[in-house]
Structure 1
């Protein structure tokens, strides 16, 4: 088996290693086809129709993060996040989930530092959730699954000319993952939840301006990081994952709004 030895985190700056007896395959497949944009109007990718033909590599995502296998890395820098709320454009229902997309022609909304050598521009964010609260996140921590997981997708505009090119190449993307757990009402998230009824039909798109996704970040700066892949076809091993250790809290109604709207109006 392949051993992954380049998985890191900060500030506990933890390095997570996959052991010999763990398989280098995704924790489970994901039905969300949002990571590449050239095929917006296609149905679910045929790769998911049969798990036997899903391509594999030695850096496939998502993974199960194990605390006891995490290692401190003093070389990592703090992750710096700068989002300009004016770059938020619209919300789009692709039939499987919704995406909040951003203007990315300049470095107005970027992340840098941490494991990244360049600025990475924010392209979009989306959520993964399950039909039940016990199963919704893609990544797991010590085999624990959270009710939902937020992905903020960024691309390396220094090295590549477009998001589509970056999504297919080494060090092309950086994705911040944030776990969601049930708890108190999330005031800032409610603006997004209130907009969802307007995109209840597949391919619906509405303007959604002046939203700062930094409000969806946990207060704790700690994270795990590792080199992995897209979790949807074409599964390109182009992603630097930055997984926040602390989840954010949302109430039950906020979490269920995502599932209810998308399930009834495909």
Structure 2
């Protein structure tokens, strides 16, 4: 079976990825703003990390959409990952030097258990206070997670990530998404809903169907001036509901 991926992408598959990137970018920007506000408040600093973690999770999802993991394999799923990632990076004009590609801090936060392992497994345990003065005693730095509002960095394990380049890239991507899919940046959930109406393609209500046992065709009958697509039909119904709300309420009362 030949892959019609170019056609799939152009006919609506792309919209799913754009809507997801918009949602995750919006989550990330809201979370980093909350994290910075809490980190500047002496009483709210302990609550800053959950917001940072949300930021890291959202940016990690975007990063994996643009640079998928396990994409080096030769199977069909991996080839699709490479295909959609190449298309997204090209259309969103994201370079391989983007700050979104650096996963060191995200990996350290996600695998914090391993950072703790490195300390407790290999740190020599002193037997007495005098052991602390032993020149051969090396004290390993303890891993930690924090946001430094003064330098604008996130710290996880022993890694640091500057926030400004990531925030700049997220805002630029949102603008490009809006150019590609108008309305997506203001209503990503609606964009995703419309995407589900367009793709995967459903049998048209208006296309003729033919029985396998005899050449009989049947299709929905609709005026030539009526909507010829499912989306057009839905739009017509919604317009009528909002155009005549009083009439619709009267009809509902009569049916009670």
Assess same fold via TM > 0.5: no
Q: TM-score, length-normalised on structure 2?
A: 0.25
- Taking CA–CA contacts closer than 8 Å with sequence separation of 6 or more, which of the two structures ends up with the larger relative contact order? 1
TM-score calculated relative to the size of structure 1: 0.24
Work out which of the two has the higher radius of gyration on C-alpha atoms and give 1 or 2.
2
Structure with bigger helix share is 2
